[in-house]
């Protein structure tokens, strides 16, 4: 995951990835393109009937091929099976491709956090999607 993370702003360090995996309720998914190639990965966590999507990263050379959409769909299916009713996430306000994808997948804007991101500085758009069984 480190190679993928190095390609994006707000990347996670190997230590941050390890910490996320250690948390109760964490779900991490990996999209393999081949035995040797990771096309993307996703990490989120649930508690009770709510969940948060922390990270979706797709290899730059493989973007716009449906990998993120498949990862998110798999994540949502797993959450529904655990009884989760709502999924939340934050996305950079300037990340229009991601925002369009989330909108396409049924996420709605519920707020904004000004100055939330660094390197580069950006606001966070808060999104939510209801999950139905």
Q: What digits encode the pLDDT tens for the residues 66-86?
A: 999 999 999 999 999 999 999
> For residue range 29-50, what is the model confidence (pLDDT) as tens digits?
999 988 888 899 999 999 999 9
Contact 50, 13 (CB under 8 A): no
Four-CA torsion 5, 112, 97, 117, nearest 10 degrees: -30
pTM of the entire predicted model: 0.86
Mean pLDDT score, 97-106:
96
**pLDDT tens, residue by residue, 3-14:** 665 566 556 666
Query: Residue 120 CB: number of other CB atoms within 10 A?
Result: 9
Nearest partner of 75 among 96, 64, 89, judged by Cα = 89
Q: What is the CATH superfamily name and number for domain 2-130? A: Gcn5-related N-acetyltransferase (GNAT) (3.40.630.30)
- Cα–Cα distance for residue pair 27/113, rounded to 1 Å: 25
Q: How confident is the model at residue 56 (pLDDT cuts 50, 70, 90)?
A: very high
* Rounded CA separation 45/38 (Å): 21
Closest CA to 40 of 19, 24, 53, 55: 55
Q: Where along the chain do its domains lie?
A: 2-130
Pairwise CA distance, residues 24 & 22, whole Å: 7
111 - beta bridge partners?
A: 126
């Amino acid at each position: 995951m480190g190679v993928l993370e190095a390609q994006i702003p707000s990347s996670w360090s190997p230590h941050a990835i390890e910490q996320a995996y250690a948390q109760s309720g964490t779900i991490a998914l990996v999209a393999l393109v081949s035995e040797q190639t990771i096309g993307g990965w996703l990490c989120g966590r649930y508690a009770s009937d709510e969940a948060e999507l922390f990270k979706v990263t797709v290899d730059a050379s493989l973007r716009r091929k449906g990998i993120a959409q498949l990862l998110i769909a798999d994540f949502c299916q797993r959450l529904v099976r655990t009884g989760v009713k709502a999924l939340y996430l934050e996305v950079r306000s300037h990340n229009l491709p991601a925002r369009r994808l989330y909108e396409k997948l049924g996420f709605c804007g519920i707020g904004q956090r000004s100055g939330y991101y660094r390197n580069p500085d950006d606001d966070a758009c808060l999104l939510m999607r209801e999950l139905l069984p």
